[in-house]
């Protein structure tokens, strides 16, 4: 049978067959001896992939060589495999769909994200439609099959995540999807594992030291005018969010520091007032969802960000900060608190040793960003990659096709 199979392959196809089979065997060995995952799962996955490789060559050899059909099949197969390997292990293109990072990143920016900087994450849900993240294009529905699934594994990277890196990650608060098929988010990493973070009157402090703010960070301001509004000023300062809130000329606008100062110079502007939420004005939707703690988007914490190996004492305060991380991200579903005591698998515990690093992410558009202030820590296994540069930018509000491209943002680095 094998002789008959190899007889139908020319030398180039035999080389490529053994190359693909070697890659399959390599990943089987890695999964079996490095990650310690189930041998049964690994061998079944190996057999399925090998069967797919053999099936492909049997299928394509039904077509005569040097025909148009055969050329197209070979070209498409090569392109799909090559592109899949590149976007999985090296670099992938993303687009910015929301304004949470304005004005550092704009809606309509297309950017490249490096998988190698922090170490490429091996596919956890490997059987999926090519180039689709979690939803089938056009028809909808899941673009993946949950079985077989593989354990988390990350290849060595060139660097660790640093404070202020712009990072793409899977949205940790999304339940119901496999880890690597959760929605992709992009934020700025304000706090890394081992940091203590606090927000005091909108200023972020790391380990008690005020951090350098992004130059184009935005906040929401209440702007009172004489009833008029000069659109030229708005265009000059790229004011794109917010609007009029009363017929008397009151506006709520999201502004950078420079935009706020420019508005203050305008004769038709009476007042520009920060919508700062006062310390102690707690909000029930702020992590860890304890309104009586008095935390809000402008005054938050202090909170410690756990790192791998940390032993954290669990009490009536820290339990609520680390509950989801321990229960969901570290797979301890039996964790619970009863009568102010913490139990794991029915046994009382007073501390917990963390198994991975965590991060605290925030958007530069501080009053219009769903980030760690709302849903907590980002586990290391949710990290996708580091944002490198924008390669294209299209203004979604511009109808003139010649003005739609933001030329000043093409091949622009991200900082």
Q: What would the pLDDT profile of 126-150 be if each residue is shown by its tens digit? A: 889 888 999 998 899 999 998 878 8
Largest CA distance in the chain: 87
In the chain, what percentage of residues exceed pLDDT 90?
67
Evaluate if residue 4 carries a pLDDT over 80: no
In the chain, what percentage of residues exceed pLDDT 70?
96
Task: Tell me the pLDDT of the chain averaged across its residues.
Answer: 90
Amino acid 30: pLDDT: 66
Amino acid 260: pLDDT: 95
Quick one: average pLDDT of 224-238? 92
Evaluate if residue 8 carries a pLDDT over 60: yes
Q: Which of 80-84, 88-92, 118-122, 222-226 has the lowest mean pLDDT?
A: 80-84
Evaluate if residue 51 carries a pLDDT over 90: no
Evaluate if residue 40 carries a pLDDT over 80: no
In the chain, domain spans:
2-89, 219-274
Indicate the pLDDT class of residue 285, thresholds 50, 70 and 90.
Answer: very high
Amino acid 82: pLDDT: 79
Q: Which CATH architecture has domain 219-274?
A: 2-Layer Sandwich (3.30)
Q: CA nearest 329: which of 301, 315, 308?
A: 308
Between 25 and 334, name the one with better pLDDT. Answer: 334
Q: For the sheet containing 336-338, what is the strand order?
A: 336-338, 341-344, 347-349
Cα 34 from Cα 57, distance rounded (Å): 31
Amino acid 254: pLDDT: 96
Indicate the pLDDT class of residue 158, thresholds 50, 70 and 90.
Answer: confident
Q: Which of 70-84, 107-121, 189-203, 360-374 has the lowest mean pLDDT?
A: 70-84
Between 144 and 39, name the one with better pLDDT. Answer: 144
Indicate the pLDDT class of residue 34, thresholds 50, 70 and 90.
Answer: low
Amino acid 246: pLDDT: 92
Amino acid 1: pLDDT: 58
Dihedral sign (CA 48, 49, 54, 59):
positive
The single residue listed with the structure tokens 């402090």 is: 205
Indicate the pLDDT class of residue 33, thresholds 50, 70 and 90.
Answer: low
Indicate the pLDDT class of residue 21, thresholds 50, 70 and 90.
Answer: confident
Indicate the pLDDT class of residue 66, thresholds 50, 70 and 90.
Answer: low
Amino acid 65: pLDDT: 65
Quick one: average pLDDT of 54-83? 76
Indicate the pLDDT class of residue 293, thresholds 50, 70 and 90.
Answer: very high
Quick one: average pLDDT of 36-61? 76
């Amino acid at each position: 049978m094998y002789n008959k199979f190899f007889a139908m392959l020319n030398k180039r196809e035999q080389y490529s067959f053994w190359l693909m089979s070697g890659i399959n065997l390599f990943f089987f060995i890695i999964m079996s001896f490095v990650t310690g995952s189930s041998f049964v799962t690994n061998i079944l996955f190996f057999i399925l992939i090998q069967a797919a490789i053999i099936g492909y060559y049997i299928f394509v050899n039904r077509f005569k060589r040097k025909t148009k059909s055969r050329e197209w099949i070979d070209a498409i197969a090569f392109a799909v495999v090559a592109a899949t390997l590149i976007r999985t292990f090296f670099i992938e293109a993303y687009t910015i769909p929301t304004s949470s990072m304005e004005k550092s990143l704009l809606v309509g920016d297309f950017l490249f994200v490096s998988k190698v900087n922090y170490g490429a994450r091996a596919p956890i849900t490997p059987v999926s439609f090519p180039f689709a993240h979690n939803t089938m294009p056009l028809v909808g529905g899941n673009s993946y099959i949950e079985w077989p699934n593989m354990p988390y594994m990350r290849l060595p990277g060139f660097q660790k995540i640093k404070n202020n890196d712009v990072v793409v990650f899977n949205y940790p608060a999304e339940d119901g999807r496999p880890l690597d098929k959760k929605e992709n988010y992009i934020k700025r990493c304000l706090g890394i594992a081992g940091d203590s973070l606090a927000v005091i009157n909108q200023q972020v402090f790391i380990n008690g030291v005020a951090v350098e703010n992004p130059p184009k960070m935005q906040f929401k301001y209440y702007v009172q005018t004489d009833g008029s509004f000069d659109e030229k000023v708005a265009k000059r300062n790229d004011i794109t969010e917010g609007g009029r809130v009363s017929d008397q000329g009151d506006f709520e606008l999201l502004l950078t520091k420079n935009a706020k100062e420019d508005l203050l110079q305008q004769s038709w502007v009476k007042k520009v007032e920060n919508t700062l939420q006062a310390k102690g004005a707690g909000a029930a939707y702020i992590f860890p969802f304890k309104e009586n703690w008095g935390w809000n988007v402008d005054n938050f914490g202090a909170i410690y960000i756990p790192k791998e190996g940390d032993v954290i004492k669990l009490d009536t305060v820290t339990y609520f900060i680390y509950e989801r991380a321990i229960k969901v991200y570290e797979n301890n579903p039996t964790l619970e608190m009863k009568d102010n005591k913490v139990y794991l698998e029915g046994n009382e515990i007073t501390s917990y040793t963390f198994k991975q690093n965590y991060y605290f992410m925030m958007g530069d558009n501080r009053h219009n960003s769903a980030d760690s202030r709302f849903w907590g820590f980002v586990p290391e296994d949710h990290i996708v990659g580091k944002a490198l540069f924008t390669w294209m930018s299209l203004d979604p509000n511009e109808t003139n096709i010649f003005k739609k491209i933001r030329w000043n943002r093409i091949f622009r680095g991200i900082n």
